[in-house]
Amino acid sequence: MIDQLYRKAVLTVAERKPIEQLIRARGWGLAQRFVAGETSAEALRAVKELSQEGILSNLDLLGEFIESPAQCDEFAQNVLNLLDAAHAQGITPYVSIKLSSVGQGKTEGGEDLGLKNARRIVGKAKGYGGFVCLDMEDHPRVDQTLAQFRTLVGEFGAEHVGTVLQSYLYRTEADRDALDDLRPNLRIVKGAYLEPESVAMPDKADVDASYRRLVYAHMKAGSYVNVATHDESIIADVKHFVLAHGISKDAFEFQMLYGIRRDLQKQLAQEGYRVRAYIPYGRDWYAYFSRRIAERPGNAMFVLKGMLRG
């Protein structure tokens, strides 16, 4: 409950325009702990640096809830350009996109613009042997995102497109069960949006228990799991689970955020586990940065100390 109250307080404050203006004006240097840069060139440089340590990457051009169809198309084109740039540098592209950023909920020619642009992105990624993860957003978008995910898997295959499930939503275990026929590639996260208690679990213990159930169920179903957490107790439990059930290290991977617990990322890679860092980049970094601060008080103290020094 304390974790929920802390997250709610931080995200509520972050929504205030004076706070946003202050952080945008003085906080970029601090945001660089969590954000690889503002350009694709900087992001791809981070990919290469991590690869030298045996760590894979998941690139995310930041931006969400973009308003106009033209801006959505522009955002999609920027992602397509990223795929081209990665391929040109010999990098097999692995990217995440938020469907809201490419037009989900907006209609063009009788078709959802988000799905139309996602098709362009997943199609190009598949041509390069790459992968696209459809990020999950706040709870009103879950149904449409899962429906569009199902459509894209049918068109491009589960080896080229995956999605995310959030353990703090009460509905998520049923959502995972309903996807089993696809043998989907799923990224399991706890959830970072400010959600009402009517749809999301307020207690950390319940969220953690749900997280474990989701990971274990997906592993037992024989589908690929991205265990996206920095929680060392969960990581230890997953290690024990796969050992006890004879699950190959090729059947899952650990995913962590860029700039957070780099020591743990290196350690897991050295132990022979597949590890992937989620690398966000771009100019629209404030919302992402706010969610990272809301995850733990230590992140907030890091920012406050940095701004006082600035």
Catalytic center residues: 135, 187
Beta strand segments in the chain, E: 56-61, 94-98, 107-108, 111-112, 131-135, 161-166, 186-189, 225-228, 252-257, 275-281
Beta carbons of 153 and 119 less than 8 angstroms apart: no
Buried b (16+ CB within 10 A) or exposed e, 230-251: bbeebbebbbebbeeeebeeee
**Cβ atoms of residues 195 and 139 within 8 Å:** yes
- What is the dihedral angle through the alpha carbons of 297, 299, 304, 310, rounded to the nearest 10 degrees? 170
CA quadruple 129, 135, 140, 142: dihedral positive or negative? Answer: positive
Task: Tell me how far apart the alpha carbons of residues 202 and 207 are, in angstroms, rounded to a whole number.
Answer: 8
Separation of alpha carbons 187 and 14, rounded Å = 26
Residue whose entry in the numeric block shows the structure tokens 């069960």: 177
Dist CA 100 CA 65 (whole Å): 5
Closest to 57 in 3D by CA, of 24, 93, 97, 32: 93
Tokens of 292: 């990272």
Query: CB atoms < 10 A from the CB of 280, how many?
Result: 24
Residue with the two structure tokens 């190959």: 248
